[in-house]
Amino acid sequence: MLAVRRRTIFVYLLPLLITIALISVTPILYTLYLSVTNNTEFNNSYDLVGLTNYIKLIFNTNSDLYYVIGLTLLYVVVCVALFLLIGMLTALALNNQKIKGLAFFRSALLLPWAAPAAVTALIWKFLFNFDFGPINQIARLIFHQGPSFGINWLNSSFWAFAAVVIVNVWLSYPFFTIVILGALQSIPAELNEAGKVDGANAWQRFFDINLPLLRPAITPAAILSAISTFQMFGTVYLITQGGPITSALKPGATTFVMIYMYNQVLGATAANVHYAQIAAFSITIFIILGGITFLSRTVGNRVEAARGGN
């Protein structure tokens, strides 16, 4: 076996390490530095203030941190649960050889995933329009109602939240379908045949045979989707801009983490932007995301180890 010196390996990796340091590590360190200052847009000379910004963010009763994070986590939980449910159902359907035209359906499945997210968001925004959106127009035709009938998708807190969930599910469920379908096709048919011989019905075969074998594929997909949904910005902003806003004392009904940070820095209401406070908010979110990712991976590995031991 060819022996390679560690120094030689390091030399080859050095350009990659330098690139990562410049692109990823440097902005993080600068943001961390900003978070312990009192830097604002119109404050040319600023000083170190220690953890003051973090204390205001975490312990101030008027802080938006908990509302924004709670709203974002709710959005993540609802979306990922629907990703899994719809992805699982469509994968099971596409794995059924009795269904005709599987090649067509499998190709059509990729359309929502392949279309540009911005274009899809604007199309859905048109569909959700109260006055001339096709959804309300069709509902008025079916129920024989006038122009005042329909769901106010974009101006109601509940329905605006539901609207951005629907759009995100439409964009993301094909990914889960493909992942689960590939995992289903890798399960030996003999296992399900043995289950049938033992008298297990379809539900028992799914929960006792298929689902445990699907978990190694589902878990990383769910973690990645949860992180990307937590960082969702463009799709939601194009549809609701973080609204509707029902109170001047708190953010809008779809003001998730990334939208909140954007509105604080570049939004229409941003005045003297407090870069230090936004940096503290960013570092806090960074720590929370890192902690959730580490915890989920640790728990997942322990569960898999426990199953393997049994």
| Residues 80-98, mean pLDDT to the nearest whole number | 92
| pLDDT given for residue 309 in this prediction | 58
Could you give the number of structural domains in the chain? 1
Q: Is 302 contained in some domain?
A: no
Question: Three-class SS of residue 39?
Answer: coil
Q: Is 132 contained in some domain?
A: yes
> Using one digit for the tens of pLDDT, what is the confidence trace for 296-310?
777 767 766 766 655
Q: Is 101 contained in some domain?
A: yes
Contact 171, 112 (CB under 8 A): yes
Rounded to 5 degrees, φ, ψ at 60 are -75, 130
| pLDDT given for residue 229 in this prediction | 93
Contact 259, 236 (CB under 8 A): yes
| pLDDT given for residue 72 in this prediction | 95
Check whether 94 has a pLDDT greater than 70: yes
Nearest-angstrom CA–CA distance, 57 and 174: 38
Q: Is 307 contained in some domain?
A: no
Q: Is 172 contained in some domain?
A: yes
Angle between helices 275-309 and 26-35 (to 10 degrees): 120
State how far the alpha carbon of 11 is from the alpha carbons of 2, 19, 283, in Å.
17, 14, 32
Nearest-angstrom CA–CA distance, 89 and 180: 10
Question: Three-class SS of residue 48?
Answer: strand
| pLDDT given for residue 272 in this prediction | 66
CATH code of the domain containing 122: 1.10.3720.10
Q: Is 163 contained in some domain?
A: yes
Check whether 268 has a pLDDT greater than 60: no
Q: Is 3 contained in some domain?
A: no
Check whether 71 has a pLDDT greater than 50: yes
Domain that holds residue 240: 82-253
Q: Is 48 contained in some domain?
A: no
> What is the percent of the chain with per-residue pLDDT over 70, rounded to a whole number?
94
| pLDDT given for residue 117 in this prediction | 92
Nearest-angstrom CA–CA distance, 76 and 226: 6
State how far the alpha carbon of 241 is from the alpha carbons of 28, 49, 147, 155, in Å.
26, 33, 25, 11
| pLDDT given for residue 126 in this prediction | 95
Q: What is this structure's pTM?
A: 0.87
